[in-house]
Amino acid sequence: AQSVAQPEDQVNVAEGNPLTVKCTYSVSGNPYLFWYVQYPNRGLQFLLKYITGDNLVKGSYGFEAEFNKSQTSFHLKKPSALVSDSALYFCAVIPMEYGNKLVFGAGTILRVKS
Amino acid sequence: DTAVSQTPKYLVTQMGNDKSIKCEQNLGHDTMYWYKQDSKKFLKIMFSYNNKELIINETVPNRFSPKSPDKAHLNLHINSLELGDSAVYFCASSSIGTVANYGYTFGSGTRLTVV
């Protein structure tokens, strides 16, 4: 069975500071890994993905994520946070074999204060 | 053009009623999904259809019945609504060629409130 853990319910960071939102996963086989963002009263927007290749992947709005196979982690990062980054962030995993389901972590609220 | 559209956006109804939520995608995807987001924002898959065939059916009360008339549409009918059904329901779609690019494409959600 696949699962995703986001150990922090909320992350608080000052504007301009770097941010990290943590994610660890458990899946049999090789995974596709994703980060989605949800703004209040909105749907889920794709942020970035890891499929294969370079462990550091870049996505929308200056976000990046680092895949670590030995630690089964896929932490989301940004060098300099903006107040507008404040939202709910979801890590998600799906095994590479098509037909499996996309499983989400519990979500982490990111609050960036000016 | 809205890629995955859900109607209605908001739905307030009384306990015991029957209601439907509709979903349509214009992306040409062959698989569609229903997810439920509860009050704690946790997202859980409910159903998945591939080319009109049910392929994922999680542990969901049988009061919930999905229907897919064609691969571009997936509707969710809920009988005898209960207070605990209050949640945001998201429709999503994907294809074998798109999952690796951006996972699933999600609609904007339907906020169901049962009173």
Q: Which residues pair with B11 in a beta bridge?
A: B112
* Residue A95, pLDDT above cutoff 90: no
Q: A5 at the B interface (CB within 8 A)?
A: no
Say yes or no to pLDDT of B2 above 80: no
Assign A60 to helix, strand or coil.
helix
At residue B22, the pLDDT reads: 98
Q: Which of A44, A74, A90, A97 to mutate to test the interface with B (most CBs of B within 10 A)?
A: A44
Q: Which CATH number is B41's domain given?
A: 2.60.40.10
The whole-angstrom separation of Cα B86 and Cα B75 is 17
Cβ-based neighbours of A89, under 8 Å, separated by 6 or more: A6, A21, A35, A36, A37, A38, A47, A76, A107, A108, A109, A110
Confidence band for B96, pLDDT divided at 50, 70 and 90: confident
Choice among A63-77, A79-93, A96-110 with the minimum mean pLDDT = A96-110
- Say which CATH class A3-113 falls into: mainly beta
Number of domains in chain B: 1
pLDDT of residue A98: 58
Closest CA to A13 of A90, A82, A108, A87: A82
Specify the higher pLDDT residue, A30 or A83: A83
pLDDT band at A105 (very low <50, low <70, confident <90, very high): very high
So what's the pLDDT on residue A68? Answer: 95
Model confidence pLDDT, tens digit, residues B3-34: 999 999 999 999 999 999 999 999 999 999 99
pLDDT digits (tens, 9 = 90+) for B37-67: 999 999 999 999 998 889 888 888 999 999 9
Contact B103 A104 (CB under 8 A): no
Only one residue has tokens 């439907």, namely B20
Query: Domain span at residue B17?
Result: 4-114
Distance to chain A for B45, nearest Cα, Å: 8
Q: What is the pLDDT of residue A104?
A: 95
- Residue A90's pLDDT is 98
Q: Are A104 and B42 a contacting pair at CB < 8 A?
A: yes
Q: What percent of chain A has pLDDT over 90?
A: 80
> Chain B closest CA to A74's CA: distance in Å?
15
Q: How many A×B Cβ pairs under 8 Å?
A: 55
User: Is B96 in contact with A101 (Cβ distance < 8 A)?
Assistant: no
Q: What percent of chain A has pLDDT over 70?
A: 97
pLDDT at res. A111: 98
What is the per-residue pLDDT across A38-81, written as a single tens digit (0 to 9) for each?
998 888 999 999 988 899 999 999 999 999 999 999 999 999 99
- Cα B108 to Cα B115: distance, rounded to the nearest angstrom: 22
